Structure 1
Amino acid sequence: MSTTIRWGILATGKIARQFAADLALVPDARLVAVGSRSLESAERFAAAYDGEGPVRAHGSYADLVDDPDVDVVYVATPHALHLDDARLALEAGKHVLCEKPLTLDARDAERLFALASERGLFLMEAMWTACHPAIHALRERLATGELGRPRHLHAELGFVVPDDPTSRMLDSRLGAGALLDMGIYPLTFAHLLLGEAHSLTAEADVVRTEHGDYDASIVIAGRYPAGVLATMAASMTSVSSRSATIATDTGRIVVADFHHPTRIVFTPLDGAAIEIEPATPVIGRGYSHEIVEVGRCLRAGLTESPLVPPVQTLAILRQMDALRATV
């Protein structure tokens, strides 16, 4: 693996643009190609992000993954397309960073990880929360016991999705639903800080459509190791705080924008508030830390990330599989 990791981006939507902007902030990482279902869209994208050199535009995903100058492909398509698009890249011999959720269910994710393993390739779910330096700092401080023993965690993420029939977030064929799009974050946050859930239950507001059902909002209750309880919520119909709180036996932790934290404050029962700072600066919007982790793993010859290992991705997908089966 060369010093500079050469990236290709598969798809040209909003999240692909945000990712490309953060990619430009990472040393020793460069966007070299983009693929779209239309050459015109790829050319517009390439022209917008050619800061460190020309970006090749490909008018198909197949052409992108066949580009010999691409080391790793970032898959930025809707949820329901992740399986096929990530598989396309892996079968072409490319390492893959795939947007979350990696697939619609755990069984398909197992197939992708098996394929990556067979080919000796790196595959990681793009879960920026697990790569964020502020989350690392919080985990370390909790582990020391200096913030007390966690007893209850609450995390919520939601916003109003406009009633647009063309929106992929409302199209069950593309993986619609608050759980897959937003609920994955509080589940991951709880998993990172508390460990794997012992049990989870949920209630949801389910929308019935001619193409299938999806959850517009969902609330989840969970029991975690050491008897810690958690309440989590995700919604496409209401404005949430997008924050998380962890109540401990000595104080309270508040995490603003918990899925990519902007501020973490611990207020002890007796004493002044303490701000928990990351050990390293946050780069860009936060996608940069996924990019840094992929580069670190590839240079070390790893096929799995210790920050977002397959076992973690599969654990959260199995949780969501079970929750969706009950609502």
Structure 2
Amino acid sequence: MTATPRPVRWGILATGKIAHSFARDLLLVPGAELVAVGSRRPESARAFAAAYDVPAAYGSYAELVADPAVEVVYVASPHALHLEHARLAFEAGKHVLCEKPLTLSRAEGEELVRLARQHDRFLMEAMWTATHPVVRQLVGDVHAGRFGTPRQLTAELGFPVEVPPEDRMLNPDLGGGALLDMGVYPLTFAHLLLGEAEQLLGVATLSPAGIDLDVAISGRYPGGAVATMSASMTSWSSRTAAVATDLGRLVVEDFHHPTAARFVPYAGGDGSALGEEVVLTGTEPVIGRGYGNEAAEVGRCVREGLRESPLVPHAQTLAVLGQLDDLRTQIGVVYPDERR
């Protein structure tokens, strides 16, 4: 009889909105167990623990990572604090799933990868798009040539952000801005489908505090493919992504949380005669809103002794971080620590 693998025991660092979304999905993941949560405020940790029936609640991050029951720490703090908090977890001997973007810059990302290797721990950016069953099937089919040669890609993500200026999404000290919070998704989507960008050009509208509110990006990719991408903190986008090929058009109605993708073939040379539509729903179930699939991937990797995920490899994360660096330079966004 094959022994049942022991549950992967999780601790959540920080108790903001994304931590709640992750916790709800984590409770649905087979073989995962949420055993601890940590916050800078004890009352916040206790409230979070009560909401999700978490056994241990800590009023500091140091106490969370010191808990011997915790194997993997999910870092859910603001972007600017990821390096500090992931380092804390590594030094305590924990594996790390860190919210996207992994860090504020590629240089910081490289340091985090170095720390993971130094401590021989697993590290993955929480780019759940890359672990989503619908996106995985789409990427696999496109790379296999099932739908022809991709030539043009579009992807947009945006919604009005109505929060105080000190909120992490608008605060330069915490890495605020549309590019890092939203633009990372279309950039990653394009990377997954088209490969590493050869050239990216960006324009943006900045807030009085100097963070980007609206960003438009154009890119050239291997094989001559091109892409247009956008991110917005001021307006409702369609959240749609599409890929035009020489055989038809792939559409993902909400690529941020997809339920399916569809391929519309063009059977006639003039584009007027449509063939039968193909619907892609993934080859495995979506767990919750998709955050559960990234947790399941982390659990699989940890139990198999891997130190990075083949779905979200370090090289991919660092490549997109380099793109974000380049685009921030182009649009004139400089964070306070970089000025100093």
Under a length normalisation based on structure 1, what TM-score does the superposition of the two structures give? Answer: 0.96
> Which residue does the alignment assign to 2:320?
316
How many residue pairs match? The answer is 321
Report deviation, 1:39: 1.2
Q: Secondary structure at the match of 1:205?
A: strand
**Counterpart check, 1:296 vs 2:307:** no
Q: What is the distance in 1 between the residues matched to 2:205 and 2:163? A: 16
Of 38-47 and 253-262, more deviation after overlay is shown by: 253-262
Q: In terms of mean alpha carbon deviation, does 163-172 or 88-97 score higher?
A: 163-172
Post-superposition offset of 1:272: 2.0
1:197, 1:225 within 8 Å by CA — same for their partners in 2? yes
Q: Are 1:306 and 2:303 matched, yes or no?
A: no
Q: 1:2: how far off? A: 5.9
Aligned to 1:196: 196
The CA deviation at 1:306 is: 0.7
Residue 93 to residue 163, structure 1, CA distance change in 2 (3 Å): closer
Q: Does the Cα contact within 8 Å between 1:128 and 1:260 map onto a contact in 2?
A: no
In 1, Cα distance between the equivalents of 2:176 and 2:325? 14
How far, CA to CA, are the matches of 2:40 and 2:196 in structure 1? Answer: 39
Q: Does 1:261 align with 2:258?
A: yes
CA distance in 1, matches of 2:213, 2:144: 38
- CA contact 1:79–1:102 (8 Å) conserved in 2: yes
User: How far apart, in 1, do the equivalents of 2:220 and 2:197 lie?
Assistant: 6
Residue in 2 aligned with 1:242? Answer: 239
Equivalences for 1:115-134 in 2 at 5 Å? Answer: 115-134=115-134
Q: Given that residues 197 and 222 in structure 1 are in contact (C-alpha distance below 8 angstroms), is that contact kept between their aligned partners in structure 2?
A: yes
Residue in structure 2 matched with residue 151 of structure 1 by the alignment: 151
* Alignment pair present for 1:36 and 2:39: yes
Partners of 1:153 and 1:244 within 8 A in 2: yes
Unaligned 5+ runs, structure 2: 268-274, 332-340
Q: Larger % of strand: which?
A: 1
Are 2:222 and 1:219 equivalent residues in the alignment? Answer: no
**Aligned counterparts, 1:47-58, within 5 A:** 47-50=50-53, 54-58=54-58
1:257-309 Cα distance to aligned partner (Å, 9 max, x none): 11331221111112122111200111101000111110110011011111111
Residue 25, structure 1, aligned to residue 28, structure 2: yes
Structure 1 letter corresponding to 2:85? D
Q: Which consecutive unaligned segments of at least 5 residues does structure 1 have? A: none
Q: How many Å separate the matches in 1 of 2:215 and 2:119?
A: 38
- Show the 5 A alignment for 1:88-237: 88-209=88-209, 213-237=210-234
Contact persistence 1:189–1:259 (CA under 8 A) = no
SS at match of 1:169: coil
What is the SS of the residue equivalent to 1:74? strand
Moved more, 136-145 or 198-207: 136-145
The 3 A distance-change label for structure 1 pair 2 and 121 is farther
Give the conservation status (yes or no) of the 8 Å contact 1:101–1:184. Answer: yes
Render the CA deviation track for 1:13-38: whole Å, top value 9, x for unaligned.
11111111101001110000000111
User: Helix, strand or coil: the match of 1:148?
Assistant: coil
The whole-number CA distance in structure 2 between the counterparts of 1:94 and 1:256 is 37
Deviation at 1:150, TM superposition (A): 0.7
Alpha carbons of 1:139 and 1:325: their partners in 2 closer, same or farther (altered >3 Å)?
A: same
Deviation readout 1:216-265 (Å, 9 max, x if unpaired): 11100000011000000001011100010101111111112113312211
Partner of 1:3: 6
Question: Structure 1: how far apart are the matches of 2:119 and 2:286?
Answer: 33
Aligned pairs for 1:76-91 (under 5 A) are 76-91=76-91
Partner of 1:282: 286
Code of the residue aligned with 1:27 in structure 2: it is P
SS in 2 for 1:324: helix
Deviations 1:53-108 (A, max 9, x none): x5200110000000000000000111111111111111111100000001000101
Q: Whole-Å Cα distance in 2 between the matches of residues 237 and 94 of structure 1?
A: 38
Q: Supply the distance in 2 between the matched residues of 1:142 and 1:218 (Cα, whole angstroms).
A: 27
- Is the 1:177–1:215 Cα contact (8 Å) retained in structure 2? yes
TM-superposed CA distance for 1:174, in Å, is: 0.7
RMSD: 1.2
Work out the CA distance in 2 between the residues paired with 1:303 and 1:29. 18
Tell me the SS of whatever aligns to 2:193. helix
Q: Assess if the C-alpha contact under 8 Å between 2:143 and 2:193 holds in 1.
A: no
Per-residue deviation, 1:167: 2.0
The percentage of aligned residue pairs carrying the same residue is 61
Distance 1:163 1:86 in 2: 27
CA–CA distance in structure 2, aligned partners of residues 283 and 5 of structure 1: 16
| CA distance in 2 between partners of 1:295 and 1:269 (Å) | 41
Does 1:252 pair with 2:249? yes
